[in-house]
Amino acid sequence: MRFLVDNALSPSFARALQEAGHEVYHVKDLGLRDAPDSVVFETARTKDLALISLDTDFGAILASQRSSKPSLILFRGEDKRTASLLSLLLQSLPRITESLEQGAVVVFDDRRIRIRSLPIF
């Protein structure tokens, strides 16, 4: 998979995904550390990278643009530790990869994983 990790998650999260064999960029790697969400979103879309964030604003951007890309992974649970989020994502990737490739919002919360196909109307 190919990912863009938002500022809300640490560069170590991105590095760990790279070590797991994925193509991953942190916004810092692309000079986007202080960029507005709209620029981060557009970068993910044009480079065909699934966006990983804790920021629900990206969902609002997807809905307002009625876009089918980029896919978005949101972590909404209480445990925001890098190791916990990484473990959750890596364990779940076999289940969510096809949806992400087709265009989806995947939300991880404390009790479940919700997958919603894009575009959102």
pLDDT at 85 over 90: yes
Instruction: Please tell me the predicted confidence (pLDDT) of residue 120.
Output: 86
Integer Cα distance of 42 and 78 in angstroms = 28
Instruction: Please tell me the predicted confidence (pLDDT) of residue 121.
Output: 77
- 105 torsion bin: left (phi>0), alpha (psi -120 to 50), beta (else): beta
Residue pair 18/4 in contact by the 8 Å Cβ criterion: no
CA distances from 39 to 35, 49, 73, 109, 112 (A): 6, 13, 17, 26, 30
Residue pair 77/59 in contact by the 8 Å Cβ criterion: no
Q: What is the mean pLDDT of the chain?
A: 95
The three-state secondary structure class of 32 is coil
Amino acid letter, 3: F
Instruction: Please tell me the predicted confidence (pLDDT) of residue 61.
Output: 93
Integer Cα distance of 63 and 86 in angstroms = 26
What is the average per-residue pLDDT within 93-118? 96
Retrieve residue 76's tokens: 């909404």
Instruction: Please tell me the predicted confidence (pLDDT) of residue 6.
Output: 97
pLDDT (tens digit, 9 = 90+) per residue, 42-82?
999 999 999 999 999 999 999 999 989 999 999 999 999 99
pTM: 0.95
